[in-house]
Amino acid sequence: MDEQMIEVKNDTDIIRVRRIVREMAVEIGFGELDQTRIITAISELTRNIIVHASSGKVLIKEVQKTGKRGIEITCADEGPGIVDIELALKDGYTTSGGLGIGMTGARRLMDEFKVESVVGSGTTVIVKKWMK
């Protein structure tokens, strides 16, 4: 099964991640709307890595569940971590001066969303989208 790991550390990497995610989403067979949702979500999460942690990794892979195909993307960093995850997932909450819709928006655009964070050691966000 297809799998790709991308190191991210600056804004050109956001474009690179988007391109690779698009290629994989197309290959899996996602339609245009779902491709747009997936790429937009990953753009937000990748930017979060760069803004909050300076660098990190994005792992993209194809997954299967009861015969359904899907895409799983893991965004991991070793940044400061999130003190209050519930607060971070509120619409409009921001610590970076952005719109505060990145993480919560990414959650709405994907089918599954999981965030694990340890203050002082990093944050990992895992999202999945399944073919209908």
Partner 1 sequence: MIIPILKIGDVLIVTLQSELTDREVEELSHDILDKINKVGAEGVIIDITALKVVDSFMARSLNSIASAATLLGSEVVVVGIQPAVALTLVELGLRVSWGVKTALNLEKGLEILKKERA
> Looking at beta carbons only, is 12 or 66 nearer to partner 1?
12
Whether the CB-CB separation of 129 and 108 falls below 8 Å is answered with no
Distance CA 11, CA 27 (A): 25
Stretch that binds partner 1, among 1-9, 13-21, 53-61, 74-82 (CB under 8 A): 13-21
Distance CA 113, CA 40 (A): 14
Q: Provide the sign of the torsion angle of the four alpha carbons 49, 62, 40, 4, taken in this order.
A: positive
Check residue 129 for interaction with partner 1 (CB under 8 A): no
How many residues sit close enough to partner 1 to count as binding (CB under 8 A)? Answer: 27
Stretch that binds partner 1, among 42-50, 56-64, 75-83, 119-127 (CB under 8 A): 42-50
**Beta strand pairing status for 112-118 and 56-65?**
unpaired
Distance CA 80, CA 128 (A): 24
Q: Is 120 helix (H, G, I), strand (E, B) or coil?
A: coil
Minimum CB separation from partner 1 for residue 111, in Å?
A: 12
Minimum CB separation from partner 1 for residue 3, in Å?
A: 22
Written as one letter, the residue type at 121 is S
> Looking at beta carbons only, is 7 or 98 nearer to partner 1?
98
> Looking at beta carbons only, is 99 or 119 nearer to partner 1?
99
Minimum CB separation from partner 1 for residue 40, in Å?
A: 5
Minimum CB separation from partner 1 for residue 100, in Å?
A: 8
